[in-house]
């Protein structure tokens, strides 16, 4: 069956929970550190995406069946899909996901298939897998090989650890509000945050730390050495994604620390290079950024062949990552992020895409409906375009 139409709309996904929070999320207390924080002009303003909405890609087959995929950075990403990919893919076999993914990567050679282009590939590829599942009337995880696990172990990322424990999570991740710019004072504040969190959650809950690429090699080493008493499960995204030599140096200087990264790596090639040098222990691609389901499958196979685990970035936020994790042996855990929920607000009320499975007692089982199980129609799409 051939692709009849590819269109992109820009949407906003803001859940509106009915339950009032008991208290405000502690996330409001912290301003997460970012690489741009070196410059004073960024201190009072978080620079992210120029207020771009999300691009939603809708691919329709000849029989009228359609698939739905999303990503980030709506403005430029929508243009790449509409102006560059759509003219090439319309008329192609919609079931040929490997070929279509390869066409997008190869046709982007002139300007590069990573970065913003990878976000565009991701939206198209996820829509194609959703369409494929709907046509075959099977959930996507069955098309990926079927369930590999009974349920997915999940962790919560944020600052409301007491609430996460109440929800049943047995692992949690903190973001770093302090970086090299704050020097020794920031290091001490970060240690206080981690120490207080460890005391709150106890010894039977795993704790991780995410620096969102804002550290340098020296600061990463100092942080990991300082945090030794608090038994971090892993240190994540500590230096610039492009600094592979830096990753090698960190690996050499703190061989005892479990290291994780990859949300800002795009397409399988960089993961293959990192696997060959054992730069990290855990790959963390984002399905909606790294080139979609097709790319993520390749990354999982690279990881598995090299004895590396995969825990996709924000994988439990949307059904795309849920289905991938359910089927892939390399994926061991799932992350719930993007605010999780404020204390007292049920996770069910924080769903952004209707039909997305919800974590219960720290575990998740994806929807078994066709495709990704999304429960959306044209009326819903129009409602989130405003």
Contact 239, 217 (CB under 8 A): yes
CB neighbour class for 144 (10 Å; exposed up to 12, middle 13-18, buried from 19)? buried
256: how many CB neighbours lie within 10 A of its CB?
7
214: how many CB neighbours lie within 10 A of its CB?
22
Separation CA 2–CA 135 (nearest Å): 12
Q: What residue has token string 């759509």? A: 86
CA 325 to mean position of chain CA atoms: 12
In the DSSP assignment, the letter for residue 312 is -
Contact 242, 273 (CB under 8 A): no
Given 84, 264, 313, 323, which residue is catalytic? 313
Give the SS3 label for residue 282: strand
User: For the residues of 4-34, what is the DSSP string, one character each?
Assistant: EEEEEEEE------SSPPSS--GGGG-----
Question: Of 363, 272, 264, which Cα lies nearest the Cα of 313?
Answer: 264
Residue 84 a catalytic site member? no
Q: Which helix (H) or strand (E) holds 102?
A: helix 97-107
Q: Which helix (H) or strand (E) holds 196?
A: helix 183-201
In the DSSP assignment, the letter for residue 139 is B
Give phi and psi for 265, each to the nearest 5. Answer: -100, 140
Task: Give catalytic residue positions.
Answer: 313
């Amino acid at each position: 069956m051939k692709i009849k139409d590819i269109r992109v709309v820009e949407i906003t996904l803001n859940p509106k929970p009915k339950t009032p929070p008991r208290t405000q999320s502690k996330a409001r207390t912290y301003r997460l550190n970012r690489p741009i924080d070196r410059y004073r002009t960024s201190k009072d303003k978080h620079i992210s995406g120029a207020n771009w909405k999300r691009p939603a890609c809708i691919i329709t087959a000849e029989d009228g069946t359609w698939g739905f995929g999303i990503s980030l950075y709506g403005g430029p990403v929508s243009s790449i899909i509409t102006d560059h990919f759509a003219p090439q893919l319309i008329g192609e076999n919609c079931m040929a996901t490997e070929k279509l993914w390869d066409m997008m990567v190869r046709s982007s050679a002139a300007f590069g298939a990573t970065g913003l282009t990878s976000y565009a590939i991701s939206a198209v590829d996820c829509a194609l897998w959703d369409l494929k599942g709907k046509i075959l009337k099977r959930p996507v995880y069955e098309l990926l090989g079927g369930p590999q696990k009974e349920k997915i172990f999940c962790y919560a990322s944020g600052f409301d650890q007491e609430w996460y424990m109440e929800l049943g999570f047995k692992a949690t991740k903190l973001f770093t509000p302090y970086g090299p710019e704050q020097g020794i004072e920031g290091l001490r504040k970060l240690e206080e945050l981690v120490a207080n969190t460890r005391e709150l959650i106890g010894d039977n809950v795993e704790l991780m730390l995410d620096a969102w690429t804002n550290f340098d090699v020296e600061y990463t080493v100092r942080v990991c050495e300082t945090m030794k008493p608090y038994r971090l499960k892993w240190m994540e995204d500590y230096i610039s994604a492009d600094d592979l030599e830096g990753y090698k140096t960190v690996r050499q200087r703190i061989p005892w620390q479990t290291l994780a990264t990859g949300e800002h790596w795009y397409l399988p090639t960089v993961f293959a290079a990192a696997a060959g040098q054992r730069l990290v222990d855990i790959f963390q691609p984002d399905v909606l950024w790294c080139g979609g389901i097709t790319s993520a499958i390749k990354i999982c196979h690279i990881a598995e062949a090299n004895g590396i685990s995969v825990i996709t970035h924000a994988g439990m936020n949307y059904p795309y990552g849920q289905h991938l994790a359910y089927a892939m042996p390399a994926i061991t855990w799932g992350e719930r992020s993007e605010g999780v929920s404020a204390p007292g607000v049920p996770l069910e009320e924080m769903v952004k895409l209707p039909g997305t499975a919800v974590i219960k007692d720290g575990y998740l089982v994806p929807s078994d409906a066709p495709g990704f199980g999304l429960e959306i129609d044209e009326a819903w799409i129009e409602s989130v375009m405003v």
